[in-house]
Amino acid sequence: MTKTTLTNSIQTQLNKGEKAFIPYIMGGDGSLTEQILFLQEAGATAIEVGIPFSDPVADGPTIQRAGERALQNGVTLRTILDELREIRAEVTIPLIIMSYINPILSYGIDAFAQACTNSGVYGLIVPDVPLEESDMLKSAFLETDVALIPLVSLTSPPDRIDKIVTAGEGFIYAVTVNGITGVRDGFDEQLEKHLKQLKELSPVPVLAGFGISTPEQVKSIGSLADGVIVGSSIVEAFHQKELEKIRELVVAAKKRVLN
Residue 21 lies in domain: 5-148+213-251
Q: Is residue 244 part of a domain?
A: yes
Q: Is residue 223 part of a domain?
A: yes
Q: Is residue 108 part of a domain?
A: yes
Name the residues annotated as catalytic.
Answer: 48, 59
- Give residue-wise pLDDT tens across range 168-184: 999 999 998 765 454 44
- Give residue-wise pLDDT tens across range 65-96: 999 999 999 999 999 999 999 999 999 999 99
What's the CA gap between 163 and 109, in Å, rounded?
24
Q: Is residue 182 part of a domain?
A: no
Chain-centroid distance, C-alpha 223 = 18
Q: What percent of the chain has pLDDT over 90?
A: 80
Domains held by the chain: number: 1
Q: Is residue 179 part of a domain?
A: no
Q: Is residue 168 part of a domain?
A: no
Q: Is residue 202 part of a domain?
A: no
Which runs of E-coded beta strand occur in the chain?
A: 20-26, 47-50, 95-98, 121-125, 147-148, 151-152, 172-175, 206-209, 227-230
- Give the CATH number, domain containing residue 50: 3.20.20.70
Q: Is residue 155 part of a domain?
A: no
Q: What is the pTM of this model?
A: 0.93
What's the CA gap between 115 and 217, in Å, rounded?
35
- Give residue-wise pLDDT tens across range 143-171: 999 999 999 988 889 999 999 999 899 99
Report whether pLDDT(185) > 90.
Answer: no
